[in-house]
Chain A
């Protein structure tokens, strides 16, 4: 604490007036060029496809603000949250700024790991941010992160295969998805659809199609096993049992789904913009990039939409260089940086102004996913959001292999939820 004050004093005396003891308050008028310090940034982006662009941005920052040094580290996404928590608890080795999944923010904020950003340099022109991604950064009335990219699930389809099967347009309803899947399976060598059945995130379009969700945060009710949830899981099982979808592998489901789609062995999957570079490298698309189509996920009787995913920048509450961290966060979330990330990687910006730029609008992933993201449903943002999908991994495979009914599997998930949620939930 003392040291935080000390470093900031060297930047400006104004700080004493605004009071660094209140945490988030930092001077706004100081010249950013005067900020100094050395900070560490953990990037969780894909090390081969995405990381080089982020690393270049960091270098650009270092050149623009010579008094600040940012050390770039790429940390595998799967380990990042765990490593961060361990480091933060022990008080050593945590990065100053980190790229976090939208679902991690409320949990990390509730545990006291993140610095509030309201009124700091990090959060500027916040009215420019899209509402759904911005909603992920708030916890108990304060803002703890700045949106980096947003995403959602869309229906990706192999145009050649649909054409070969005589399906003219991508399915718009779950019913049409089933029919198209069956037709593809009959008319071609490929399977129609592949479900990532063991991951709750990928089941959410089916929930939304029936007007349901995992939790009702307003009423504080667990709705994962309600009638809408059962209908959603039954729909998925019916796709598999009827042959409209391939029998999914229950270990490495995601990787198997990706490979099958990339190699043209399945005609349709649900996936997001992060998967596009990988898919385009596959044999079904590398020769003919136009062969892949992107459509919004099919609608059901009660609704339509994919879940909101994406990443935010968060600042570690224990950072000894808060001022430099805020400045860096601002730089990374700026229009310029977002435009570059969008144009080069096809990751979707979180600022509405960025979508208007030609370089961004011209990126095929961005243009394909813009309507998808507009329809995305906001997630359930509570401290436990990061753990909502894990019970699906253990329970849904049993339902897929027929050992339990959808009701039993979902009741088991609801039990897990109720033991991890605070008592006021029912």
Chain B
């Protein structure tokens, strides 16, 4: 009975993963893999190099792995906390009976409905040093323009803002769904018992949202960790390579110049390993903590 599932998994996930892992143990590049191009039939000439690619990356010889990882972690934590916090606040606001609630909800989802590359290009334009809308607005009210994407720290803040703007709607929608599944009777009972609104939030809302929060935070973390379009399209990893995440860096390795298949595969496998460890630890802590919230 399980055969079709196993076959599909093997073809769609297993083979590419195994192939990628195998490549990460070789020194394959575009110049030494086998290719048969019309008149040119070139045999493969790459070798198995064991863990060399991993060692080169982890010792910092290629790929600036550790500084990239540090920034990627900062980026992920800041973005996910902001996604969750703002998403929660908006969800609570919109869960109240207010006039035009549906319209607000639809508007709030807009950033999510726009394809990320479109948003990224719009933001890149908004941020432009000399011709951007944000600086024009600042100058209009007599403030000095900010070179949003020139300074590494400011550029990092700028891309975080873009990603938060993109990610909040999803959190808000998910949490709104969660809020509506919490029975109203709990709140009524709490009010009768004289619980304050803060107490109601911490003892009813948060625990009630747990079945929703746990997976969306995990998903959000993985998405943010691997958020390619925002970085690639807003700053291109710049200024310099200061906003480059692990994934955008792996892409650079894989596709710039003579393609380095072995090295970029090793980089990709390391990213996968990091995320798997993170997901495992997260699940364990939820499971062990029981009422974690």
Given A88-B37, A317-B38, A318-B38, A251-B257 contact (CB < 8 Å): no
Interface presence of A252 (CB below 8 A): yes
Give the docked Cα–Cα distance between A259 and B131 (Å). 9
- Neighbour of A397 across the interface among B62, B128, B239, B256, CB < 8 A: B239
Contact at A317–B239, with CB atoms within 8 Å?
no
A316 at the interface (CB under 8 A from B): yes
New A-B contacts (18) at CB < 8 Å, excluding given A4-B39, A256-B131, A397-B239 = A4-B38, A91-B37, A111-B31, A249-B147, A250-B147, A250-B150, A250-B239, A251-B127, A251-B155, A256-B130, A259-B130, A318-B39, A319-B38, A384-B257, A387-B258, A393-B238, A397-B150, A419-B62
Contact of B38 among A1, A247, A252 (CB under 8 A): A1
10 pairs, CB–CB < 8 Å, chain A vs chain B = A89-B30, A112-B40, A251-B155, A252-B124, A256-B128, A256-B131, A317-B38, A387-B257, A394-B241, A419-B62
* Chain B: minimal CB distance from A196 (Å): 14
Of residues B31, B36, B131, B235, which shows the largest number of chain A Cβ atoms within 10 Å of its Cβ? Answer: B131
Q: Tell me which residues across on chain B come within 8 A of A4, comparing CB atoms.
A: 38-39
Question: Are A198 and B238 within 8 A (Cβ)?
Answer: yes
Q: B37 to A112, Cβ gap below 8 A? A: yes
Interface size of A in residues (CB-CB distance below 8 Å): 44
Beta-carbon nearest neighbor of B42 in chain A? A112
Q: How far is the CA of A250 from the CA of B124 in the complex (A)?
A: 12
Task: Produce 1/0 per residue, B27-58, CB < 8 A to A.
Answer: 00011010111111110000000000000000
- Closest chain-B Cβ to A291's Cβ sits at a distance in Å of 21
Closest to B243 in A: A251
Give the residues from 95 to 136 in chain B that come closer than 8 angstroms, CB to CB, to chain A.
Answer: 124, 127-131
Q: Are B240 and A397 interface neighbours, CB within 8 A?
A: yes
Q: Does B178 contact A (CB under 8 A)?
A: no
CB within 8 Å for A420 and B257 given contacts A85-B30, A112-B42, A397-B238: yes
**Is residue A369 within 8 Å, beta carbon to beta carbon, of the partner chain?**
no
Measured CA separation A4–B36 after assembly (Å): 14
Contact A23 B39 (CB under 8 A): yes
Closest B residue by C-beta to A315: B38
Tell me the A residues contacting B by CB distance below 8 Å. Answer: 1, 4, 23, 82, 85, 88-89, 91, 107, 110-113, 115, 198, 247, 249-252, 256, 259-260, 265, 316-320, 322, 383-384, 386-387, 390, 393-395, 397-398, 401, 403, 419-420
B239 touches A398 (CB 8 A): yes
Which residue of the partner chain, among B38, B62, B259, contacts A316 with CB atoms under 8 Å?
A: B38
A134 to chain B, nearest CB (A): 23
Chain A residues with CB below 8 A from B39, complex form: 1, 4, 23, 115, 317-318
Residue numbers in B under 8 Å from A403 (CB-CB): 152
Q: How far is the CA of A395 from the CA of B155 in the complex (A)?
A: 16
A89, B33: Cα distance in complex, Å: 9
| Inter-subunit contact A250/B238 (CB<8 Å) | yes
Contact of B256 with A390 in the complex, beta carbons under 8 Å? yes
Determine which of A107, A250, A317, A394 lies in contact with B258 in the assembled complex, contact meaning CB atoms within 8 Å. A107
Number of interface residues of B (CB under 8 A): 36
Measured between alpha carbons, how far is A352 from B225 in the docked complex, in Å? 55
Instruction: List B152-173 residues whose CB lies under 8 Å from chain A.
Output: 152, 155
CA distance in complex: A115, B106 (Å): 56
**Is B207 engaged at the interface, CB distance under 8 Å to the other chain?**
no
A111 to B62, CA, bound (A): 23
Considering only CB atoms, which chain B residue lies closest to A20 in the complex? B39
Shortest C-beta distance, A241 to chain B (Å), equals 15
Q: B201 at the A/B interface (Cβ < 8 Å)?
A: no
CB distance B258 to A111 under 8 Å? yes
Could you tell me the distance between the alpha carbons of A252 and B234 in the complex, rounded to whole angstroms? 10
CB within 8 A of A401: which of B40, B239, B256? B239
Residue B237 at the chain A interface, CB threshold 8 Å: yes
A317–B240 alpha-carbon span in the complex (Å)? 37
Report B127 CB to chain A, min CB distance, Å: 8
How far is A1 from B239 in the complex, measured between Cα atoms in Å?
A: 47
Say if the beta carbon of B255 comes within 8 Å of chain A: yes
CA distance A107 to B127 in the complex (A): 36
A390 to B249, CA, bound (A): 13
In the assembled complex, the CB of A403 is this many whole angstroms from the nearest CB of chain B, namely 7
Residues of B within 8 A of A82 (CB): 255
Q: Is the CB of A383 within 8 A of B258?
A: yes
Q: Is B149 an interface residue, CB under 8 A from the partner? A: yes
Is B236 in the interface zone, CB < 8 Å from A? yes
| A319 and chain B: residue at smallest CB distance | B38
Most chain A beta-carbon contacts within 10 A, residue among B38, B237, B259: B38
The closest CB in chain B to the CB of A383 belongs to: B258
- Provide the residues of chain B in CB contact with A397, threshold 8 Å: 150, 238-240
Chain B: CB-nearest residue to A399: B240
B37's partner among A113, A249, A250 (CB-CB below 8 A) is: A113
Contacts of B42 in A (CB 8 A): 112
Q: Is the CB of B35 within 8 A of A112?
A: yes
A residues near B62, Cβ cutoff 8 Å: 419
The interface residues of chain B lying within 8 Å CB-to-CB of A89 are 30, 33, 35
By a CB distance below 8 angstroms, the chain A residues around B257 are 107, 384, 386-387, 390, 420
Minimal Cβ-Cβ distance residue in B for A390: B256
B238 and A251 form a contact (CB under 8 A): yes
Contacts of A316 in B (CB 8 A): 37-38
Q: How far is the CA of A395 from the CA of B238 in the complex (A)?
A: 10
C-alpha spacing A111/B34, complex, angstroms:
11
Chain A residues positioned under 8 Å from B139 (CB to CB)? none
Taking the nearest CB of chain B, how far is it from the CB of A389, in angstroms? 10
Q: Is B188 an interface residue (CB 8 A)?
A: no
| Chain A min CB distance to B225 (Å) | 22
Name the contact of B150 in the complex, choosing from A107, A249, A419 (C-beta under 8 A).
Answer: A249
Which one of A1, A88, A110, A249 lies within 8 Å of B31 (CB-CB)?
Answer: A110
CB-CB under 8 A from B240, the residues of chain A are 250, 393-395, 397-398
CA distance A60 to B212 in the complex (A): 63
The one of B149, B241, B256 in contact with A249, judged by C-beta atoms closer than 8 angstroms, is B149
